[in-house]
Amino acid sequence: MSGISARLGGEIRRIDAAAWDRLANPDAATLPHPFTRHAFLKALEESGSATAKTGWRPVHLLLERGNTPVAAMPLYLKSHSYGEYVFDHGWAEAFARAGGRYYPKLQASVPFTPATGPRLLVAGDEDRKALRRLLLEAAESAVSETKTSSLHITFMIEDEWWLAAELDFLRRSDKQFHWENRGYGSFEDFLRDLSSAKRKNLRKERAAVTADGVKFEWLTGSDLTEAVWDAFFDCYTTTGNQKWNPPYLTREFFSRVGASMGEQILLVMAKLGGRYVGGALNFFDDNTLYGRNWGCIGYVPFLHFEACYYQAIDFAISKGLLRVEAGAQGSHKLLRGYLPQPTYSAHYIAHAGLRRAVADYLENERAAVADHIEELKEKAPFRKNG
């Protein structure tokens, strides 16, 4: 397309917020996808969570006509493979054994956020397919420009994935567990769709949490005070440290994101004996609730399931949302009404030998993932005639 130039724009603060959000929300949704918003990326970067120091150097890609951005890709220069949830450590190790240098690499994603969303951001009044192709071509060229080994576009939407395939990107798939709202008016309506045994199990889990005396608060907007964030951060870091995995997000991130986009946050806080003992952080748009971060202090049986899954379903039903995306991993979600859904990523690897090896691996992996999704669907907890 004539008159279009590409450049690496650096940190998100260097890009005009209104111009970025026009690309990230081309359909002018009332509540846009939360994780591609300028405010979300700015909170990650300016809080010290996603920075060059933490291995996430922002180099966001822009396509411009004159001085006007017409397309963008959230892009980071990575010195490791942590915080991505699409694992390529094995590729890096194999390349290193062969004498190659896998890092740095380019990562087109939202840091620490395994949620599907657009990665090829194009203004609504533009030729979206043509500019998406240009973005992919420009990102591929950026691998050479930045002297990196590869480009990885993770948790992209499916039509972007197929477009990347047309440009010979390698395709990868995985799965997550999502809850779908079938027009339920209440949690009991949802339970009636389950088989008898599974329905009984969910009721037992919810009743156990209630019997322990746990109360829940739904906090959003102005409810998100610094005292609440302090309590949640205590829960978040306690759980993260127990997993031998220091939390990625700083305390400042929560203050920043709460202040800039609290209207799209649902913080579920669990209180026992007048004290907060657990919390689940969610974001939402017009259609979907996205479960993101969880933490607790001490142990309350079934608290994780209630705070992260059942409270999320309650909220989605109350707001008429279409689905709940429960984040990465966890086949245990299946028994609680969350069904497997594919996720997508595309990869460009500059080294021909490594590219061939990864391509062979991904062909087998895609088939295995597709088979596993079908196997899991057969074990869904819903009534067979439901």
The tens place of each residue's pLDDT in the chain, 386 residues long, gives 679 999 999 999 999 999 999 999 999 999 999 999 999 999 999 999 999 999 999 999 999 999 999 999 999 999 999 999 999 999 999 999 999 999 999 999 999 999 999 999 999 999 999 999 999 999 999 999 999 999 999 999 999 999 999 999 999 999 999 999 999 999 999 999 999 999 999 999 999 999 999 999 999 999 999 999 999 999 999 998 876 667 999 999 999 999 999 999 999 999 999 999 999 999 999 999 999 999 999 899 999 999 999 999 999 999 999 999 998 878 899 999 999 999 999 999 999 999 999 999 999 999 999 999 999 999 999 998 64
Residue 144: Cβ within 10 Å count: 9
Residues 103 and 74 grouped into a single domain: yes
Q: Nearest Cα to 331, choosing from 301, 289, 300, 375? A: 375
Tokens for 77, please give them.
């220069």
Give residue 330's pLDDT. Answer: 82
Residue 41 CA to residue 20 CA, distance in Å, equals 11
**Residue written as token pair 């649902």:** 266
Phi and psi for 226 in degrees, rounded to 5?
Answer: -65, -35
- The Cα-based distances of 148 to 54, 103, 130, 154 in angstroms read 18, 7, 25, 17
Residue 336 lies in a domain: no
Provide the 3-class DSSP secondary structure of residue 108: strand
Give residue 386's pLDDT. 46
Amino acid at 282: N
The secondary structure of residue 306, as a DSSP letter, is: I
**How many residues are listed for the chain in this entry?**
386
Residue 332 domain-assigned (yes or no): no
Q: At 176, list the tokens.
A: 């997550």
Single pTM value for the model: 0.96
Q: What angle do CA 230, 293, 331 make, to 5 degrees?
A: 150
Distance CA 308, CA 52 (A): 31
95 shares a domain with 17: yes
The first and second tokens of residue 205, run together, are 């889990």
Q: Are residues 111 and 144 in the same domain?
A: yes
The reply to whether 190 and 169 lie within a common domain is no
CA distance 212 to 348: 51
User: Are the CB atoms for 151 and 139 separated by under 8 Å?
Assistant: yes
Which residues on neighbouring strands pair with residue 335, listed in sequence order?
none
187 and 285 fall within a common domain: yes
In a domain, 222, yes or no: yes
- Read off the amino acid at residue 280: A
Residues 135, 62 within the same domain: yes
pLDDT for residue 328: 85
Q: Which two tokens stand for residue 344?
A: 């997508």
What are the backbone dihedrals phi and psi of residue 363, each rounded to the nearest 5 degrees, phi first? -60, -45
Q: Domain range for residue 220?
A: 182-321
φ, ψ at 308 (rounded to 5°): -90, -35
The total number of structural domains in the chain stands at 2
